[in-house]
Amino acid sequence: RGPQKVAEALDQLARLRALKALSNEVRAGGQGIRITPIRVFGKMTEEGFKSERDEVVSSDGLDFGFDQGEYFKFKIENQSGKDMYVTLFDLSTDGSIQMLYPPEGAGELVKNGDQITLQSVFETTGPAGYETFKIIGTTDQTNFSFLTQKGVSRGTRSPLESLMELALVRTRAKVTKVASVDDWT
- In the 8-state DSSP scheme, what is residue 184? B
| Residue 115, pLDDT score | 93
pLDDT given at position 125: 76
Q: For residue 18, how many C-alpha atoms fall within 13 Å in the half-sphere facing its CB?
A: 8
The predicted-structure confidence for 91-103, as pLDDT tens digits, reads as follows 888 888 888 888 7
Q: Under a CB-based contact definition with an 8 Å cutoff, are residues 31 and 79 in contact?
A: yes
Q: What per-residue confidence (pLDDT) applies to 185? A: 63
Helix (H) or strand (E) holding 7: helix 2-21
Report the pLDDT value the prediction gives residue 183, as an integer from 0 to 100.
Answer: 62
Which is nearest to 91 in space by CA: 22, 159, 158? 22
Confidence at residue 75, expressed as pLDDT on a 0 to 100 scale? 92
pLDDT number for residue 172: 42
First to last CA, the chain: 40
> Which one, of 181, 53, 23, lies nearest residue 121 by Cα?
53
**Cis bond before residue 103 (omega within 30° of 0):** no
Q: Alpha carbon of 85 to those of 4, 32, 81, 92, 98: distances in Å? A: 37, 12, 13, 23, 17
Using CA of residue 22, residue 28, residue 32, residue 38, what is the dihedral sign? positive
Q: How does pLDDT run along the chain (185 residues), one tens digit per residue?
A: 788 888 888 888 888 888 888 877 665 555 688 888 888 898 888 888 888 888 888 766 666 777 778 888 889 999 888 899 999 998 888 888 888 888 776 677 899 999 999 888 888 777 777 788 888 888 888 888 888 888 876 555 555 555 555 555 444 444 434 444 556 66
pLDDT score at 178? 44
Would you state the pLDDT for residue 77? 92
pLDDT tens figures, 48-74:
888 888 888 876 666 677 777 888 888
Reported residue count of the chain is 185
